[in-house]
């Protein structure tokens, strides 16, 4: 017997291993020879010239898929769409499908140029009919005879619309029990060719060139009413290709119930001339009525049409979101994080790696606010809009890792691995690499045939698995769906009836992909499948809402089937239940109101839901709950604190094209203290250059009046960067110290100095000109403390960015008080290492080790968390000993609070957060290199990230070359710059000796003190990481004796291809006593401060039962916000900061230490009075290390 060759055995082993690996994947791709699904988009089958096809296809190709049982045999079938026509595939079972296109009863060549496909029982006869959207051709409505043969009746129904129709959605918008129709339309292209008698090739060529070269596109926004005469005149004046880019109003058709539809577009206030690519129906605001999310390409922002319930819609995008994609393509609306609120995902075209970003970015970055072509809130990347309640959404795309998936179309939210958490599939690719800048700049050569046309842009599809708490990971490869293709449409459905969701992907460049889901056979989790039998006019129950409770979790779903891009999902709903063993309840509210409840259902079962088994309900079971007693109520309109900040115009990016944020948008500063000596806290706001400090006196608790206080109209040539109210001359009243500077001022300008205003005891402040040291800095913080224990307030002034020298720091100062309000600069002798330690954003005087001496904590941009320990004579940097050496980040704020009641001070440090493109790792930091690399007299700050083992400059070629024009000679093509590491861009010797920092931490954290000045860092909850944390207040709001946190922050002045950090809405978190915090929803907290928010301070009123606390949020370029707590029993202990620096309360067997801060957070000073823990009866006070007494606390 002959032996088997060793090489053959090796091959067998490899093949077995490969098969084992494939079996372990969540999805198995079923090949066409297995399934019989051979549909592909084959250009050769289209009966038009290839040149004409190329023009037509340059914008929006058709490539969709719909899953549903249109043959009536109980198994979900598939229908594909594209410009070549439709493909019908009957499910025979056991993963076998038969192509029945030839026998559907309608000629396939009449269905060319099809885009979206939608299955719906429009004639209520129990079978699925097919609506076909078509590109520049009349839409088709194929009515099913129940056996999979169809008769075309679009004209009879009044739905044979002809233009660039992309997709359809059927839903009952007017609650009459009948399914109405919404058509998504791209542009007026067909009308232009017809009405202007120009060839489609001519218009297409002009339009394609405009798109590639990024020339001006007219901007149209939601009008909220009919087009005015001047708008119509404008439309008549622009060229045909410009009008194409202006878009086309979508269509809404009302089902009249007699087999006909009527166009009600304009009477329903559907009027935006956007370039629609998808529309998803959902009850977005949970008022019981179906709303519409429309994803628009190019010039118009996306739209949220909220249903008014009277047959009209209100466009509400700008009120509910802060931003949108530029080139929005696919969209889906579903509950992403399990809180019962519908979230929104849209896809765009930001590449997922450095090389393609640089190659495709061009000279306008990501086409954002600084490109006048586009709406100011648009940026080119995917959006993941998290529903925060109160009709407010926060984009968390970067934090989830889903912001950049390249040229993306389909996006589908569902639980594919049955673990009870929603995952996201995203399909990628395009007909060509349209944004390749080297290709664009050689466009004429391509048109002349000198260089060849591009082929398809093929990219791997993505699958993002949710790992909990907004943490997602792209597992496309691990799960077996990362096949490289040009994918447009995609749909999910249980094709084999085993309970999990299989996936069908429609491709442009190859046959469709069919994926079998192996979650059930791999026992990854339990499930429940739901089928719907609705009423006569809506037999499929479209619009039904479902809540399933199992295993301690609640799952919310809406029964709408058109999702993603040009596609329709299967009718059967599959819900993953994780490890649940029994379903506690299934609650279904049918679209016309009745409710069906089922209890104690088995897991891994199919439940048939029937409208006839539902009972009438008095109200919507899924309505957004109103919290009648939130933690805070907005008192802005009644408090009297009518301060509106403004900024003078200063273009930071003109001086530094590649700095990450504006320096000039730092304000306003805010300070709290008793100015007029009446025992009540007052409030001061700083303002821009040209405006004076504003004083608001508190006349009764919670009621403020604008007052002169001697500051109105004074020193308006200065800009207030930071200020603090303290008694510097020991006369018993609060004086005012103001730190100035700003990027407008040169180093020798007096506006960079310290200003001192002395209080006359009656609330009038007069500037003191003597005894003020001559300092020069661009200040960011000013903090007062008796650091040397001599009985007076000394001052630390933190320096920010030095004028015209980012990222070099301006000087910081320590000023010693002689007891009479005269200061001496002692920086060089007492704390020399602080002089230019970094771009300081926040400082805090605090005793980290309970030795009675106040130490200095700092943080800032490109800085680690830093501690200077007070030794009694000098300060020494003990950051490394404190465990903070690996904390370099973009920090903004600091606040002290004993969060665990162990008698020492812990701290909350606010950082930039995790919701940005700057995502460092320990071994792959975000770095900055700065020097005058091109030797033209200006500093060049180059920020880098790691890509394939090398450091590359993050910013796009145009911005970098604008800063360093000589690089044009070195890198003629975009591809060369995209491939170049920073070492290849600038001189290596200069790189080794230049300014260099490496950021490794972007999270906001709690610093838990072990009592000896060593810290353990614990990140704040994920929802606190979606935006920068600037404002911080530490309070006990729920009476459980643990410190709670209130935080806020956004930064609108970000680099122009980021636009702004704007996901913050304000956040309240209840402390658990161990350094962990539980976030509240916006309806629970009532604290909503959603604009360009800065510092957060509290006014505290000892003895007041009605208004013990007033919370104030300072906002850049808008009105300050005021909030009052709803909790009863809050107590405030009156404190004189000259006599008390800290105190200890006995709390439930523990001891809570509290300190008095004259300057904390972000450019702010909060009240010096102390909040009393519930149950505390006495307070032990200290002045430094000296115990000054024990006294009863304020009574409730």
Token pair in block for residue 641: 């604190």
DSSP-derived letter for residue 398 is: H
Above 50 in pLDDT, residue 2? no
pLDDT band at 18 (very low <50, low <70, confident <90, very high): very low
Burial class (CB in 10 A: 0-12, 13-18, 19+), 712: middle
DSSP-derived letter for residue 708 is: -
Among 703, 724, 696, 695, smallest CA distance to 1095 is for: 724
Beta carbons within 8 Å of 678's beta carbon, 6+ residues apart: 697
Q: Please report the pLDDT score of residue 651 as a whole number.
A: 86
Above 60 in pLDDT, residue 1? no
pLDDT band at 1177 (very low <50, low <70, confident <90, very high): confident
CA distance 566 to 903: 61
Strand, coil or helix: 709:
coil
Strand, coil or helix: 991:
helix
CA distance 81 to 719: 62
Tell me the mean pLDDT in the region 869-879. Answer: 97
- 1052 vs 670, 804, 908, 1093, CA distance in Å? 19, 21, 23, 9
DSSP-derived letter for residue 161 is: -
Above 70 in pLDDT, residue 19? no
Contact 1159, 784 (CB under 8 A): yes
Among 1144, 1178, 1070, 1076, smallest CA distance to 904 is for: 1144
Beta carbons within 8 Å of 929's beta carbon, 6+ residues apart: 941, 942, 944, 982, 986, 991, 994, 995, 996
Strand, coil or helix: 976:
helix
Above 60 in pLDDT, residue 922? yes
How far the first Cα of the chain sits from its last, in Å, is 98
Contact 1021, 1069 (CB under 8 A): yes
| HEC profile of 865-886 | CEEEEECCCCEEECCCCCCCCC
646-686 tens-digit pLDDT? 988 888 888 888 999 999 999 999 999 999 999 999 999 99
CA distance 591 to 122: 16
794-830 tens-digit pLDDT? 999 999 999 999 999 999 999 999 989 999 999 999 9
351-362 tens-digit pLDDT? 999 988 988 875
1047-1060 tens-digit pLDDT? 999 999 888 777 79
Q: Please report the pLDDT score of residue 443 as a whole number.
A: 56
Above 90 in pLDDT, residue 954? yes
Above 80 in pLDDT, residue 1106? yes
CA distance 1013 to 1076: 20
Q: Please report the pLDDT score of residue 1008 as a whole number.
A: 98
Tell me the mean pLDDT in the region 333-342. Answer: 97
Q: Please report the pLDDT score of residue 193 as a whole number.
A: 62
Beta carbons within 8 Å of 473's beta carbon, 6+ residues apart: 401, 464, 465, 467
Among 1168, 1109, 1124, smallest CA distance to 1142 is for: 1168
Tell me the mean pLDDT in the region 906-919. Answer: 98
Above 60 in pLDDT, residue 49? no
Burial class (CB in 10 A: 0-12, 13-18, 19+), 445: exposed
- Its pTM stands at 0.92
- Residue with tokens 């954003």, as numbered in its chain: 841
pLDDT winner (highest mean) among 106-115, 295-304, 310-319: 310-319
Contact 325, 297 (CB under 8 A): no
Among 730, 732, 745, smallest CA distance to 650 is for: 745
Name the more confident of 1166 and 239: 1166
Could you give all domains of the chain from N- to C-terminal order, each with its CATH number? 18-533 (2.130.10.10), 632-919+1000-1192 (2.130.10.10), 926-998 (no CATH)
E-assigned strand segments in 954-1056: 995-999, 1005-1009, 1015-1019, 1031-1035, 1044-1048
Q: For strand 1093-1100 and strand 1109-1115, is the pairing parallel, antiparallel, or unpaired?
A: antiparallel
Contact 418, 405 (CB under 8 A): no
CA distance 463 to 428: 11
Angle between helix axes 200-213 and 50-57 (nearest 10 degrees) is: 50
412-426 tens-digit pLDDT? 999 999 999 999 999
Cα torsion 277, 281, 282, 288 to 10°: value is: 150
CA distance 941 to 928: 7
Q: For strand 378-379 and strand 324-325, is the pairing parallel, antiparallel, or unpaired?
A: parallel
Please state which of the ranges 185-199, 411-425, 464-478, 686-700 shows the lowest mean pLDDT: 185-199
Contact 823, 758 (CB under 8 A): no
- In the chain, what percentage of residues exceed pLDDT 90? 76
DSSP-derived letter for residue 749 is: -
Within 888-1014, residue ranges assigned H as helices are 957-963, 967-970, 974-979, 982-985, 988-993
Name the more confident of 91 and 44: 91
| H or E stretch at 56 | helix 50-57
pLDDT band at 212 (very low <50, low <70, confident <90, very high): very low
DSSP string, 775-807: ----EEEEEEE-TT-SSS-EEEEEE-BPTT-TT
987-1009 tens-digit pLDDT? 999 999 999 999 999 999 999 99
Above 70 in pLDDT, residue 1100? yes
As a residue count, the chain comes to 1196
Q: Please report the pLDDT score of residue 56 as a whole number.
A: 54
Strand, coil or helix: 674:
coil
pLDDT band at 57 (very low <50, low <70, confident <90, very high): very low
Calculate the average pLDDT of the chain: 89
Q: Cα-flanking dihedrals φ and ψ of residue 11, to 5°?
A: -60, -45
Beta carbons within 8 Å of 1183's beta carbon, 6+ residues apart: 1139, 1140, 1141
Tell me the mean pLDDT in the region 758-764. Answer: 96
Above 50 in pLDDT, residue 370? no
607-626 tens-digit pLDDT? 999 999 999 987 777 776 66
Please state which of the ranges 11-20, 408-417, 962-971, 1016-1025 shows the lowest mean pLDDT: 11-20
Token pair in block for residue 1141: 């620096």
531-541 tens-digit pLDDT? 999 998 999 99
Q: Please report the pLDDT score of residue 302 as a whole number.
A: 94
């Amino acid at each position: 017997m002959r032996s088997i060759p060793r090489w053959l055995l090796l091959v067998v082993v490899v093949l077995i291993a490969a098969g084992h690996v494939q079996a372990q994947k969540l999805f198995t791709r079923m090949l066409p020879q297995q399934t019989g699904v051979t549909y592909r988009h084959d250009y050769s089958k289209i009966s038009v010239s290839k040149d004409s096809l190329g023009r037509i296809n340059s914008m929006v190709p058709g490539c969709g898929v719909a899953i549903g049982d249109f043959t009536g045999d109980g198994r979900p079938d598939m229908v594909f769409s594209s410009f070549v026509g439709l493909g019908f595939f009957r499910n025979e079972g056991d993963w076998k499908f038969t192509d029945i296109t030839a026998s559907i009863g309608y000629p396939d060549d009449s269905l060319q140029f099809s885009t979206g496909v939608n299955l719906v029982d429009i004639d209520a006869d129990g079978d699925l009919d097919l609506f076909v959207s078509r590109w520049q051709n009349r839409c088709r409505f194929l009515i099913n005879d129940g056996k999979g043969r169809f008769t075309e009746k679009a004209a009879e129904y009044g739905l044979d619309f002809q233009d660039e129709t992309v997709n359809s959605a059927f839903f009952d918008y007017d609650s009459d029990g009948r399914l109405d129709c919404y058509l998504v339309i791209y542009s007026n292209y067909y009308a232009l060719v017809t009405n202007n008698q120009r060839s489609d090739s001519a218009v297409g060529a002009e339009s394609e060139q405009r798109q590639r070269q990024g020339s001006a596109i007219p901007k149209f926004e939601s009008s909220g009413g009919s087009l005015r005469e001047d708008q119509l005149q404008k439309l008549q004046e622009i060229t045909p290709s410009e009008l194409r880019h202006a878009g086309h109003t979508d269509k809404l058709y009302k089902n009249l119930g007699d087999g006909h539809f009527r166009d009600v577009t304009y009477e329903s206030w559907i009027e935006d001339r956007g370039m629609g690519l998808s529309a998803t129906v959902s009850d977005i605001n949970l008022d019981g009525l179906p709303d519409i999310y429309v994803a628009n390409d190019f010039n118009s922002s996306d739209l949220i049409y909220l249903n008014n319930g009277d047959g009209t819609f209100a466009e509400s995008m700008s009120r509910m979101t802060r931003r949108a994609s530029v080139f929005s393509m696919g969209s889906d609306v579903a509950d992403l994080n399990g809180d019962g609120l519908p979230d929104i995902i849209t896809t765009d075209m930001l590449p997922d790696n450095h090389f393609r970003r640089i190659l495709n970015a061009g000279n306008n970055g990501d086409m954002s606010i600084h490109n006048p072509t586009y709406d100011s809130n648009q940026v080119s990347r995917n959006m993941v809009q998290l529903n925060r309640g109160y009709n407010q959404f926060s984009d968390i795309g970067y934090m989830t890792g889903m912001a950049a998936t390249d040229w993306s179309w389909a996006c589908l939210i569902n639980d594919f691995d049955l673990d009870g958490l929603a995952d996201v599939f995203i399909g990628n690719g395009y007909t060509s690499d349209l944004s390749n800048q080297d290709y664009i700049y050689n466009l004429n050569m391509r048109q002349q045939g000198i260089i060849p046309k591009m082929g398809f842009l093929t990219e791997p599809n993505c699958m993002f698995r949710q790992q909990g708490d907004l943490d997602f990971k792209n597992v496309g490869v691990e799960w077996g769906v990362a096949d490289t293709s040009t994918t447009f449409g995609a749909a999910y459905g249980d094709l084999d009836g085993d309970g999990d969701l299989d996936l069908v992907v429609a491709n442009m460049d190859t046959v469709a992909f069919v994926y079998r889901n192996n979650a059930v056979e791999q026992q990854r989790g339990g499930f429940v499948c739901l089928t719907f039998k609705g009423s006569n006019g809506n037999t499929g129950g479209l619009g039904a809402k479902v809540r399933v409770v199992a295993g301690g979790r609640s799952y919310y779903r809406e029964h709408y089937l058109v999702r993603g891009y040009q596609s329709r999902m299967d009718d059967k709903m599959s819900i993953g239940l994780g490890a649940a063993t029994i379903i506690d309840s299934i609650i279904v509210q049918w679209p016309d109101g009745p409710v069906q409840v089922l209890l104690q259902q088995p897991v891994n079962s199919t439940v048939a839901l029937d409208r006839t088994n539902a009972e009438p309900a008095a109200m919507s079971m899924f309505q957004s709950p109103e919290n009648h007693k939130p933690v805070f109520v907005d008192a802005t309109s009644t408090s009297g604190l009518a301060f509106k900040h403004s900024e003078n115009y200063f273009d930071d990016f003109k001086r530094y094209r590649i700095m990450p944020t504006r320096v000039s948008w730092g304000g306003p500063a805010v300070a709290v203290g008793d100015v007029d000596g009446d025992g009540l806290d007052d409030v001061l706001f700083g303002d821009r250059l040209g405006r004076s400090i504003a004083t608001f006196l508190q006349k009764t608790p919670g009621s403020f009046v604008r007052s002169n206080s001697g500051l109105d109209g004074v020193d308006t040539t200065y800009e207030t960067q930071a200020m603090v109210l303290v008694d510097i001359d020991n006369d018993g009243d609060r004086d005012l110290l103001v730190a100035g500077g700003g990027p407008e001022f040169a180093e020798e300008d007096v506006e960079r100095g310290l200003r001192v205003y002395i209080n006359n005891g009656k609330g009038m402040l007069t500037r003191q000109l003597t005894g003020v040291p001559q300092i020069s800095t661009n200040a960011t913080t000013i903090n007062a403390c008796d650091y040397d224990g001599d009985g007076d307030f000394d001052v630390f002034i933190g320096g920010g960015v030095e004028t015209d020298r980012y990222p070099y720091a301006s000087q910081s100062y320590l000023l010693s008080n002689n007891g009479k309000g005269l200061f001496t600069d002692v920086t060089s002798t007492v704390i020399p290492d602080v002089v230019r330690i970094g771009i300081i954003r926040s400082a805090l005087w605090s005793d980290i080790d309970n030795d009675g001496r106040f130490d200095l904590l700092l943080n800032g941009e490109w800085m680690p968390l830093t501690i200077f320990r007070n030794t009694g004579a000098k300060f020494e940097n003990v950051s490394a000993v404190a465990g903070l050496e690996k904390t370099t980040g973009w920090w903004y704020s600091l606040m002290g609070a004993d969060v665990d009641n162990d008698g020492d001070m812990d701290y909350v440090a606010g950082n930039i957060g995790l919701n940005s493109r700057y995502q460092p790792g320990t071994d792959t930091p975000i770095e900055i290199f700065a020097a005058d690399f091109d030797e033209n007299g200006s500093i060049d700050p180059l920020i880098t990230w790691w890509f394939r083992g090398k450091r590359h400059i993050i910013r796009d070629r145009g911005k970098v070359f604008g800063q360093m024009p000589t690089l044009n000679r070195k890198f003629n093509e975009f591809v060369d710059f995209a491939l170049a590491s920073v070492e290849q861009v600038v001189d290596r010797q200069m790189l080794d000796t230049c300014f260099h920092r490496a950021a490794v931490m972007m999270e906001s954290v709690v610093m838990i003190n072990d009592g000896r000045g060593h810290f353990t860092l614990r990140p704040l909850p994920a929802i606190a990481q979606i935006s920068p944390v600037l404002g911080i207040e530490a309070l006990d709001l729920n009476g459980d004796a643990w410190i709670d946190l209130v935080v806020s922050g956004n930064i609108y002045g970000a680099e122009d291809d980021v636009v702004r950090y704007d996901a913050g809405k304000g956040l309240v978190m209840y402390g658990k006593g161990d350094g962990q915090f539980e976030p509240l929803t916006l309806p629970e907290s009532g604290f909503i401060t959603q604009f360009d928010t800065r510092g957060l301070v509290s006014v505290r009123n000892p003895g007041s039962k009605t208004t013990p606390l007033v919370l104030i949020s300072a906002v850049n370029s808008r009105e300050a916000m005021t909030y009052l707590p709803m909790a009863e029993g809050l107590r405030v202990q009156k404190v004189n900061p000259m006599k008390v620096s800290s105190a200890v309360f006995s709390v439930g067997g523990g001891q809570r230490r509290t300190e008095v801060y004259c300057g904390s957070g972000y450019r702010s000073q909060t009240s010096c009075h102390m909040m009393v823990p519930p149950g505390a009866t006495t307070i032990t006070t200290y002045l430094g290390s000296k115990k000054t007494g024990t006294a009863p606390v304020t009574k409730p």
